[in-house]
Amino acid sequence: MNRKTLIERREALENLLKRRFFIAPSFEIYGGVAGLFDYGPPGCALKSEVESFWRRHFVLAEDMLEISATCLTPYNPLKASGHVDRFTDSMITDIKTNEYYRADKVLEEYVENRLKEKSSNPPKSEEEKNELETLGIKAGSMSIDEIKESLNKYQIKPPSGGEWSEPYPFNLMFRTKIGPKEVEGKNDSVGFMRPETAQGIFVNFKRLYEYNGKKLPFSVAQIGLGFRNEIAPRNGLLRVREFQMAEIEHFIHPDRKDHPKFDDVALKCLPLYSSKTQLNNGEIERNITLKEAVHGEEKIINNETLAYFLSRTYDFLISIGINPDGIRFRQHLSTEMAHYASDCWDAEVLTSYGWIECAGHADRSCYDLLQHSKATKTDLFASEKYDEPQFKTVLVLTLNKPLIGKTFKQEASLVTEALQEIANKGDISFQEKLNQSNKALLKYKSCENGKEYQWEISSEMAKFEFQTKKVTEEQFTPGVIEPSFGIGRIIYCLLEHSFKIREDLSEIQDQSTGNKNTNNSPDNEMQRSYLSLPALIAPVKCSILPISSNAIFNDLINLLHKSFINHGISCKVDTSSASIGRRYARTDEIGIPFGITIDFQSVKDDTVTLRERDSMKQVRISSSEVPSVISKIINQQITWENVLENYPLFTQQSNE
């Protein structure tokens, strides 16, 4: 697994993907639209197989609830979730040409140019080199002011040589109008295309919690479209404006994030790339068990549930055919994470474009449920009844609301929130400070806007006292752990990993005539490349190829085709006049794992040859057995090796 090979092969792969219509630019005959791609027949079937296996691997096997919410989303929920205000990229415009750019990409490109080999302007010192590296890493999470400062500091100019505009935020959501009525100045009719499927799950929390018999933890999954109005879409399927996502929201008690099935995975080692390792420029760690990672001294992974999902994701990626050597789990640096998140790991896959995030695993804490609960004044909490009522000592807060209101005015409700949080934590130290000097400094980071506040509180304003109360149940806002998958990215990575070029070309020898294929036409190149997609998710499972277009084969072709359909197995009949070798090559190209050849022998004794794509080996097998054998391989009940053991190897078609 190395990036250089992937880069070398990229053009040939992209060629194949376009030529065999895996994907193509949407509305190509109209000139296309940046960031929009259509899946053609093999691409669409591959996507559908990957989704269907995702559903089996996660929803079915983990007993998740799956829902399907709408893409159209009104203003208010996205205001509450923070997307209206903060789902932005910083843009800058070249004042001279009116061309717009993503500010972080401009900075990253600048860094790349300075640091590359043979740079015309290499860093002048080790210190400057480090500074540039940090700039490159931080560019994506910088504020407008920081961007401005960096553009100034390094005197970065647009390609035209002109001047940059001030950086400004650009909201990435597609905006529309719902209904025919427009009320001026109101957001009632404003709608957006959802930027993630997650919010559709959060707003349904109450119904879902009830559906699950009011028991925690539970997971809710959703497969569906997300939309982002990217400023500069690029890299084919990797940054697009409309994309299929598969998301899981796992609701859990915020203080008990253990997982009942953690023991099943505790001794597994995943390729972990922790934030600490990243900051130390270390290597991916492959020998730490998940048990050590969660419960060891360093506590690399925040909790068992997060670790359990990382392991499930790893299994998923490998099952569909991603090379394990090209997978790593990269922990977010604390500067990268959303302010409310407590831990975050991306499953990244090595591609010709570098390491690409394919699935995120974020601990979103209680943030979203709290926000929707506040915005709608709805209770979005779970409760657990104690077996018997308990007497609990709780810290009770008594407030002097008029005084707080008078003193802090607009910030009064934030102050109250901050004090209540201290009480909820049972932290008496603040009262002790008040006792000492009749006043104390209250620091608070708002969950809503991420801002930090600091107030001076006097002992007249608030009083904390321990009291013993009889409690019958505990009520709490569940925490949320979110594994979130980008299906398009996964498919692109999968295609890069399964793109192979055949060294052994003997098969292209025309078997029906015995002549070597000496054709040097341009499509000789394509005959050698193939996609080694696992049968589990291959877009088409098998091909049926009569040795010639003789009508004598038609009955058997139809019989086999029907039998495959009845087994729910997709198959493609190719009766064209090309040689068998050439037709194999064509089916290899779109990743069909099995080929069935019907020859003159078949008509006599009802046997056919069954060929496996990767090994190119063939066995002779009775035509009535072949659908169930292929079905068993697809469902991972047997392997191709089992087939080789049980059926006679076949070498040459008779052309009699």
Residues 158-217 that bind its own copies (CB under 8 A): 170, 174-181, 191, 193, 200, 203-204, 206-208, 210-211, 213
Interface pick for its own copies out of 7, 24, 284, 505 (rule CB under 8 A): 24
Look up residue 457 and give its amino acid.
Answer: I
**Which residue's CB is nearer to its own copies, number 227 or number 492?**
227
95 is a site residue for its own copies (CB under 8 A): no
Distance CA 541, CA 591 (A): 9
**Which residue's CB is nearer to its own copies, number 73 or number 274?**
73
What are 50's two structure tokens?
A: 């990957």
Q: Name the strand (E) or helix (H) holding 576.
A: none
Residues 541-570 that bind its own copies (CB under 8 A): 565, 568, 570
Q: By CB under 8 A, which span of 30-38, 279-287, 529-537, 644-652 interacts with its own copies?
A: 30-38
236 is a site residue for its own copies (CB under 8 A): no
Q: CB under 8 Å, gap of 24 or more: what pairs does 510-514 form?
A: 510/579, 510/580, 510/581, 510/582, 511/579, 511/580, 511/581, 511/652, 511/653, 512/547, 512/548, 512/579, 512/580, 512/653, 512/655, 513/579, 513/655
**Which residue's CB is nearer to its own copies, number 34 or number 394?**
34
Q: Name the strand (E) or helix (H) holding 131.
A: helix 126-138
576 is a site residue for its own copies (CB under 8 A): yes
Residues 39-58 that bind its own copies (CB under 8 A): 39-41, 43-45, 47-48, 52, 55-56
Cα-only R_g, the chain: 30
Residues 633-652 that bind its own copies (CB under 8 A): 635
CA torsion 187-189-192-194 (nearest 10°) is: 100
Q: By CB under 8 A, which span of 67-75, 117-125, 423-431, 437-445 interacts with its own copies?
A: 67-75
Q: Name the strand (E) or helix (H) holding 388.
A: strand 382-399
Interface pick for its own copies out of 242, 348, 507, 612 (rule CB under 8 A): 242
Min dist. Cβ of residue 55 to its own copies (A): 8
Min dist. Cβ of residue 634 to its own copies (A): 11
Q: By CB under 8 A, which span of 17-25, 349-357, 385-393, 612-620 interacts with its own copies?
A: 17-25
Residues 598-637 that bind its own copies (CB under 8 A): 635
Q: By CB under 8 A, which span of 3-11, 22-30, 104-112, 355-363 interacts with its own copies?
A: 22-30
- Cα 33–chain centre separation: 23
Min dist. Cβ of residue 36 to its own copies (A): 5
66: left (phi over 0), alpha (psi -120 to 50) or beta: beta
Residues 358-387 that bind its own copies (CB under 8 A): 372, 375-376, 378, 380
The CA-CA-CA angle for residues 28, 32, 34, to 5°, reads 145
What are 513's two structure tokens?
A: 């005539």
Number of other residues whose CB lies within 10 A of the CB of residue 517 = 19
Distance CA 418, CA 461 (A): 13
Residues 6+ apart with CB under 8 A from 572: 540, 542, 543, 544, 587, 592
227 is a site residue for its own copies (CB under 8 A): yes
Min dist. Cβ of residue 350 to its own copies (A): 26
**Which residue's CB is nearer to its own copies, number 135 or number 491?**
491
Distance CA 319, CA 330 (A): 20
30 is a site residue for its own copies (CB under 8 A): yes
Interface pick for its own copies out of 12, 33, 156, 644 (rule CB under 8 A): 33
**Which residue's CB is nearer to its own copies, number 111 or number 542?**
542
**Which residue's CB is nearer to its own copies, number 91 or number 306?**
91
Min dist. Cβ of residue 306 to its own copies (A): 23
Distance CA 485, CA 493 (A): 13
Q: Give, to the nearest 10 degrees, the angle between helix 412-425 and helix 401-408.
A: 130
355 is a site residue for its own copies (CB under 8 A): no
Could you tell me how many residues of this chain bind its own copies (CB under 8 A)?
Answer: 78
77 is a site residue for its own copies (CB under 8 A): yes
Min dist. Cβ of residue 368 to its own copies (A): 12
- Cα 214–chain centre separation: 29
Q: By CB under 8 A, which span of 69-77, 145-153, 543-551, 596-604 interacts with its own copies?
A: 69-77
